[in-house]
Amino acid sequence: MKPNIDFIKKITNNKNIILIGMPGAGKTTISKKLEKILYQQLVNSDLLFSKKYNMTIQELWNKHGEETFRNLEEAYFCNYMKDVSNSIIDVAGGTILGPKSRDLIFNNQNITIFLNTHVNELYKRLKNELHERPVLHSNPKKNLEFIYKNRLPLYNQADIIINGNHDPDTIINDILIALEVFVKKRDVFSL
């Protein structure tokens, strides 16, 4: 099935497409490709959060510790998201842990896509950048398994779940097809 890009652009107009998933799932890569296809604004929550505090995620984590970091992350995300529409949003993996963030991520103005990527694939993708990922410093593979298991029930609340183990072009095609099917189904139920 070949996705109808013009239809997808039309149906996602004024909606945010939010990508969620584990660190290394490919959210940043996929969001950049979606931006080029759908011509929507791209929002990278990690990048904006870092810019606000003029520090890397690692520096923020080290300075404040996990609890304060998560509180700052949630406050910033919720404040920023108030005025965002018609955007593709690459949400940091842990943002979903905050209840207020979850409410925004899963509201009806958004279409949420979970890039479900196997832990072995995540580890393979992240092994060269573990120093940039604060939650993965000690025993990274075991930590990935633990984090994945704990976050999976939250991620599974997404409107669309995509197999993130494939190459980016396959994932993009799967997302576009799923968006088209999802919106058609939702429109039928809202008649």
User: Whole-angstrom Cα distance, residue 146 to residue 133?
Assistant: 15
* Domains of the chain, CATH where assigned: 5-189 (3.40.50.300)
pTM to 2 decimal places: 0.90
Q: Which pLDDT tens digits describe the chain residue by residue (191 residues)?
A: 788 888 888 878 788 999 999 999 999 999 999 999 998 888 888 888 889 889 888 888 889 888 988 898 899 889 888 888 899 999 988 899 999 999 999 988 899 999 999 999 998 988 877 666 666 667 878 988 999 999 999 999 999 999 999 999 999 999 999 999 988 776 544 43
Phi and psi, residue 120, nearest 5°: -60, -40
Which residue type sits at 21?
A: G
